[in-house]
Each structure stands twice: as structure tokens, then as C-alpha cells.
Amino acid sequence: MNIMVTNDDGIHAAGIRALAEAMSELGTVTVVAPDRERSAVGHSLTLHTPLRIFELHKGWYAVDGTPTDCVNMGIHNMLPITPDLVVSGINHGANLGDDVTYSGTVAAAMEANLMGIPAIAFSLATFEPSNHFSDAAQIAIQVARRVIANGLPSDTFLNVNIPNCPHDKMCSPLITRQGKRSFIGKIVDKTDPRGRKYYWVGSDEPHLNDEPGTDFHAINRNHVSITPLHLDLTNHKSLSILSEWSF
């Protein structure tokens, strides 16, 4: 089993160390990850500057690009053969509901899915500095084992969110759908030391729609949340409504 590991928190993050170590129980691991934090870059691709690869030690490569660049570089240029599985994470912070569209962690799995490779994004649902990455890594092994054994339905990758607690305190994994949040974005404006205004995108506590069956609902109750995602953003319910518009 050849497994590629990436993330968006950067190659020096605690979450990727825990994930790479866990995946080494399942096969040969190659890490290709951004050389610095690239959270919330979404599915962006570097087109206007060259990319460079830095080998940190055997099987660990840093790329000065985005998570999507890392998956591309890893699969096309660095790994000797196409990996059997691509895993991304373990992100420091949840990737729930609409936030998956901002997530570099999820986008890396998305990119692997576009290449036809089974892929899983893992996130630890906390922004607290004290955290349980090694407990989350145990869950990552369990999920990866099932993906390896059963495969994934076509056009499907997984978004897994893991509660921040000891392994034996977590509730059983639930298969969930992507939830919704009410976005209460906040942009802070301040003045710099030279008297010019600057702005910084802030974030409030997300207001989650706590509906049964969603990723939010599962995580709020200490369950591991496993959401199957796909890239078809078409709103199929709207097709028939819009097809009645006359042009």
C-alpha cells in the first residue's frame, strides 16, 4: 500500500506528523506538504510562479505551494507510482458545513479524487492549543482501513471530522451530510503605526444549524463525522425550475 500524506497547516504541523505516523502502519508513506501554513486557500493552484521542492528527510517533501499543488506535484513528479490512497490533515480545526469550500485540507482530497485516487480529509474539531492529534490519528487508521478494504463509491471522497477528546471518550462514527452555518463574518479595521487603515478577516464562533444528520450535529455530540463529498456542485433540484425560464 502506497499512501501520500498532505495537509494545509504546513509540513511542520503536529497534525501531519500524527497522520503520517499512523498511516505508516498501513503502508509506505510519502509526505508532500506545503512548506508553511496555507489554511483557507481552498482549491487554488499556483500558476504564476515556479514551484520548488525541498526534501526535509527521506519521504518528507515540502513544496512552496498550495495543498492542491502538493497533490499535483506528488502524483505527477515525485512519487514513483500512483498512490493507493491520499490522506490530508489532520487539520487543526474543524472543516464542517459550508466551510469545506474554503478548506485547503479538503481541497487536497478533492484534487486526488479528480485524479481518480481514493482520498480522505481529516480534521480535528478544535482550535484550542491543547489537542488530541494522536487520538484522532487512531480514528484515521480505522477510516483508512475501511476505505482500503471496501473502496469508495465512484466520484466520492471523504471529509472526516474528529472530536477533540481521548480516543475512548469519542462516540461511534456517523455517516453525515454537509451542514449549513449562518455566516457572521467580521472584518476588523484598525490603523497601522503609519496611520493607514488595514483590515483583517476575523471570525466569530460559527452559528451552526444543528440539524440531525449533519456533520455539525455529529461533532456537537462527540461523534466522529464522516461525510461523503463529490465535486458536482450542480443544484439538481433547480434544473427543472430553471429549465422553465424562457430565453
Site string for Mn ion, 135-164 (x = CB under 5 A): ------------------------------
Q: Which of 6, 39, 68, 88 binds Mn ion (CB under 5 A)?
A: 39
Site string for Mn ion, 71-100 (x = CB under 5 A): --------------------x---------
Position closest to Mn ion via CB: 39
Site string for Mn ion, 105-124 (x = CB under 5 A): --------------------
CA-CA-CA-CA torsion sign (41, 42, 44, 46) = positive
What's the min distance (Å) between Cβ of 30 and Mn ion? 20
Binding segment for Mn ion (CB under 5 A), chosen from 23-31, 38-46, 141-149, 163-171, is: 38-46
Under the binding rule (CB under 5 A), the answer on residue 9 touching Mn ion is: yes
Q: How is the chain split among helix, strand and coil, in percent rounded to 5?
A: 30, 30, 40
Please give the Cα distance from 145 to 131 (Å, whole number).
24
What's the min distance (Å) between Cβ of 89 and Mn ion? 8
Query: Which is nearest to 55 in space by CA: 37, 23, 33, 24?
Result: 33
Query: Binders of Mn ion: how many residues, by CB under 5 A?
Result: 4
Under the binding rule (CB under 5 A), the answer on residue 35 touching Mn ion is: no
What's the min distance (Å) between Cβ of 91 and Mn ion? 4
- Asked if 127 and 105 touch (Cβ cutoff 8 Å), the reply is no
β-sheet bridge partners, residue 88:
6, 121
Identify residue 211 by its one-letter amino acid code. Answer: E
Q: How many residues does the chain have?
A: 247
Under the binding rule (CB under 5 A), the answer on residue 8 touching Mn ion is: yes
What's the min distance (Å) between Cβ of 40 and Mn ion? 7
Please give the Cα distance from 219 to 6 (Å, whole number).
23
Helix orientation angle between 133-150 and 14-23, rounded to the nearest 10 degrees: 40
Under the binding rule (CB under 5 A), the answer on residue 6 touching Mn ion is: no
Please give the Cα distance from 120 to 108 (Å, whole number).
9
* Complex with Mn ion: residue 91 or 178, whichever CB lies closer: 91
Binding segment for Mn ion (CB under 5 A), chosen from 6-14, 42-50, 146-154, 195-203, is: 6-14
Site string for Mn ion, 164-203 (x = CB under 5 A): ----------------------------------------
Please give the Cα distance from 185 to 198 (Å, whole number).
16
* DSSP strand pairing (28-34 vs 60-63): parallel
* Complex with Mn ion: residue 9 or 215, whichever CB lies closer: 9
Query: Which is nearest to 225 in space by CA: 217, 233, 235, 237?
Result: 217
Judged by the rule CB under 5 A, the positions of this chain that interact with Mn ion are 8-9, 39, 91
